[in-house]
Amino acid sequence: MTRLGEREAMTANTTFVIVGAGLAGAKAAESLRAWRFSGRIVLIGEEPFRPYERPPLSKGYLRGRRSFDDAAVHDPGYYAEHGIELLTGTTVVALDIRRRLVTIEPGGAMHYDRLLLATGAQPRPVDIPGRGLDGVLTLRTVTDADAIRAAARPGTRALVVGAGWIGGEVTASLIRRDIPVTLVDRGQVPYARTLGPEIGRVYRDLHAEHGVVLHPEATVAAFVGDRTVTGARLTDGTTVPCDLAVVGIGVHPRTALAEAAGLATDNGLTVNEFLQTSDPHVYAAGDVANAFHPTFGRPVRLEHWWAALNQGPVAAANMLDKRIAYDWMPYFGSRQYDFEMEYTGYAPEWDEIVFRGEPSSRRFAAFWLKDGRVRAGMNAEVWGYARHIRALVSSGRPVDRHRLEDPDVALASVVAA
């Protein structure tokens, strides 16, 4: 990839534009000032709010236990105090990488010297009858969360479509609000494709114990109602009454702007280990970035808070020609009811899962192995494992599976071996 020359030194006359005022964009802007960049920083967001973190939306914020200020990345005065031009309620409608221009509405064309695309992702739509009825909602923004909170009144019956992380967390939060929930998913058990059936059964049983009615191996054929949803017809032939339906069947990376500009895309914006796109003046971070990862030797796109938190600062450093590879180990966590877990690594495929502890006890660790090597690990209600899992994955060395599963063998010694 072509490096930019010293003739484009980072001076007060230089303009860096960040498209996407979420966590990745906000942390990139913060990092640019921390690196003592003295030029102009413009942070553009479509929402009318200052940058905030999204994980609370399906948990504490949805339950009414956390405020917007709790979720916000920075205090209200931070951006002005640090000379960052925060443009909220603003849409980038065109990108010209040849002339290095972004066109915004409202506002017109703006020149950039470096550009960071942190456009995130958007919920996958459901293309079925009744999808436009009032009460059929998705969760991506604080406005979405406010709509779900407003709809979740006493006596409401909720349907959650999709037992992924958003669906599972929304289900748990609604149950905590004393809203009865029916959970529909096309899988036999939740997370079977990503975590395996053993752990999927843990989540299935967890939801069932909290009164959730589960419909496995089914999805919605149509929502029914006049103007407002009153129920859903499922593909298994049943009809589920509901006054609120939350659809969480995954997201698409928001690449339309990049594609129209001619940037390379493949399951997101294609970037190298320096988070640089096919144009050397343009970088990407967060949900939209499909970044080559040195440890795994392949592109990895993560739809999790961890990637936004850490890719934003690395992209900022590389916009300043620091040439820092993004090699942070993939990580995410989830809490549903009182069951909390952490997942470290990346295992889109595996040969076997090795357990340390019994999954049904809900206090265990799991390790996904490929060719005898640990590719990812999960600790559930046991702590202090993440750094050892990270070391096992990073080493790339074969492990003794019997020592790995033996709770009497310190995990640190498995790493050392």
Q: What is the 3-state secondary structure (H, E, C) of 187-207?
A: CCCCCHHHHCHHHHHHHHHHH
pLDDT at 1 over 60: no
pTM (2 d.p.): 0.95
- Euclidean distance between CA atoms 366 and 285, whole angstroms: 29
In terms of Cβ atoms closer than 10 Å to its own Cβ (0-12, 13-18, 19+), residue 323 is: exposed
- Euclidean distance between CA atoms 344 and 330, whole angstroms: 6
Residue whose C-alpha is closest to residue 98's, from 116, 82, 111, 79:
111
The pLDDT value given to residue 11: 75
Residue whose C-alpha is closest to residue 41's, from 310, 312, 264:
312
Supply φ then ψ for residue 26, to 5 degrees: -65, -40
pLDDT digits 0-9 by tens, 369-380 = 999 999 999 999
Query: Higher-confidence residue: 11 or 399?
Result: 399
pLDDT digits 0-9 by tens, 133-183 = 999 999 999 999 999 999 999 999 999 999 999 999 999 999 999 999 999
Q: Which amino acid is at 102?
A: V
Q: Which residue has the tokens 């456009």?
A: 119
> What is the rounded end-to-end Cα distance, in angstroms, of the chain?
38
Right CATH number for 12-122+252-319 from 3.40.30.10, 3.30.310.220, 2.160.10.10, 3.50.50.60? 3.50.50.60
Task: Kindly state the tokens that stand for 102.
Answer: 């972004």
Name the pLDDT band for 10 (thresholds 50, 70, 90): low
Tell me which CATH code domain 338-416 carries.
3.30.390.30
- Euclidean distance between CA atoms 322 and 301, whole angstroms: 22
The pLDDT value given to residue 5: 41
Query: Higher-confidence residue: 408 or 5?
Result: 408
Calculate ∠ Cα 151-67-302, nearest 5°.
Answer: 85
The pLDDT value given to residue 7: 38
6-14: list long-range contacts, CB under 8 Å, 24+ apart: 8/113, 10/37, 10/38, 10/39, 10/320, 11/38, 11/39, 12/38, 12/39, 12/40, 13/39, 14/39, 14/40, 14/113, 14/114
What contacts 166, CB < 8 A, 6 or more positions away? Answer: 58, 139, 248
Structure letter (DSSP) for residue 289: E
In terms of Cβ atoms closer than 10 Å to its own Cβ (0-12, 13-18, 19+), residue 21 is: buried
pLDDT digits 0-9 by tens, 284-337 = 999 999 999 999 999 999 999 999 999 999 999 999 999 999 999 999 999 999
* pLDDT, mean of residues 57-75: 97
Task: Kindly state the tokens that stand for 392.
Answer: 């096992």
* pLDDT, mean of residues 84-100: 98
Name the pLDDT band for 40 (thresholds 50, 70, 90): very high
- Euclidean distance between CA atoms 342 and 195, whole angstroms: 12
pLDDT digits 0-9 by tens, 102-134 = 999 999 999 999 999 999 999 999 999 999 999
pLDDT at 6 over 60: no
The pLDDT value given to residue 12: 75
| Domain 136-247 belongs in CATH node 3.60.20.10 | no
Q: Which amino acid is at 173?
A: S
Do domains 12-122+252-319 and 338-416 share one topology? The answer is no
Q: Is the backbone peptide bond immediately before 106 cis, with ω within 30 degrees of 0?
A: yes
pLDDT digits 0-9 by tens, 238-259 = 999 999 999 999 999 999 999 9
pLDDT digits 0-9 by tens, 171-211 = 999 999 999 999 999 999 999 999 999 999 999 999 999 99
Question: What mean pLDDT value characterizes the chain?
Answer: 95
- Euclidean distance between CA atoms 350 and 369, whole angstroms: 6
Q: Which residue has the tokens 């990580």?
A: 331
Q: Where are the domains of the chain?
A: 12-122+252-319, 136-247, 338-416
What contacts 345, CB < 8 A, 6 or more positions away? Answer: 329, 330, 368, 374, 375, 376, 377, 389, 390, 393
* pLDDT, mean of residues 73-91: 98
* pLDDT, mean of residues 340-344: 98
- Euclidean distance between CA atoms 31 and 393, whole angstroms: 28
